[in-house]
Every structure is written in C-alpha cells, then in structure tokens.
Amino acid sequence: MNLRVLTPSRKAPQAGDVFAFQLPDLTYRFGRVIRTDATWTLAQGADGAVLIYIYRTQSREMAVPDRDELRRDHLLVPPMMTNRLPWSRGYFQTVGNVPLDEHDLLPRHCFLSAARGRYFDDYGQPLAGPIEPVGDYGLHSFRTIDAAVSDALLIPRTPN
C-alpha cells in the first residue's frame, strides 16, 4: 500500500479528531473525523461508521495543520465512511482534536449507491439527486482509502 504504517491505536476516533497519514514521499497528509455514527448501508444496524474528510494539505511534520487548511473547500477526495481499522492498523494516527463548526462541514453529504443507482446522505436518507462532492455509499477499507488517495494524487497504486 502507499499508506505507511505509523502507530496503531485502539482509541476510538471522535468527531473533530485530526489524523495524519504518510505517503511514500514521506510527506504527511491529513484528515478529520466528522461523525462516528454515520449510516453506510440501508441494512438494519449499519450506523456507526466513521465519516471522514481527507484534505489536500501536506506537510513534512506530523502536527495539526492550521484551521484554514481544514476547510471543506480543501478536500482531496469526497467524504468517505470507514471503520476503526485505519487507526487500529496504524495507517491513521490522531494528532489532535479541533472542534467542528458549521463552516468546517459540507452543507449536505451525498453518497451514490452504485447497486441501487440512488443517492443517500450520511443518515441513510434518500436524496433526489447528486450534491457535489459525491462519495461512495458504503464502508471504505484502508485499502480503498489508499486507492482513492493514490488516484487523487496521481500516485501509482500498489499491487494487492
């Protein structure tokens, strides 16, 4: 994978947590936990996903970026829903917590369910149509996050 292993953590992500991940060029990129109770499928009991933003910001230092770098207009990829594995496996390392405010968040989250050909928000509610940026309606693994980040940065994907 292009994401490097940092320090594994068993601590549950919290809304506002800023996390770092490292790429092959040894720069750090950053993301933020938006919610920890997102709904990632219409199946019963499918809430509890971690909704994250991943930003374009990069640094040679693993420190919380300036708040201006954590704006909704600095997203590298559309919002994603994942579980705790990126943290427990050490691909994401929490570096601090910056409480969320309304200016940090997209007005509405939108995800496309390819299987259903419909759009849903992060609460599992149907949407009439796309609202940019459109993410995938489902649970991302650290591998699919790696692929999305690699594609956005034009870094060749590593073979499985």
Q: Is residue 3 part of a domain?
A: no
- Classify the C-alpha dihedral 58-75-9-66 as positive or negative: positive
| Segments forming the whole domain that contains residue 80 | 17-106+139-152
Give the pLDDT score at 52.
98
pLDDT given for residue 155 in this prediction: 95
Number of domains in the chain: 1
**Does 128 fall in a domain?**
no
Q: Is residue 66 part of a domain?
A: yes
The residues near 6 (Cβ < 8 Å, ≥ 6 apart) are 20, 21, 22, 62, 90, 91, 92, 93
Structural domain includes residue 23: yes
Q: What is the pTM of this model?
A: 0.94
Residue 12 located in a structural domain: no
Establish if 43 belongs to a structural domain: yes
Count Cβ neighbours within 10 Å for each residue of 90-113 and write b for 16 or more, e otherwise. Answer: bbbbbbeebeeeeebbbeebbbbe
Asked whether 33 and 51 are in contact (CB, 8 A), the reply is yes
Please give the average pLDDT of every successive group of 10 residues along the chain, which has 160 residues.
95 97 96 94 76 97 95 97 97 97 95 94 95 95 96 90
Tokens of 29: 């990129």
* Predicted pLDDT of residue 45: 64
CA dist 84 and 118 (Å) reads 26
User: Is 123 part of a structural domain of the chain?
Assistant: no
- Asked whether residue 28 is domain-assigned, the answer is yes
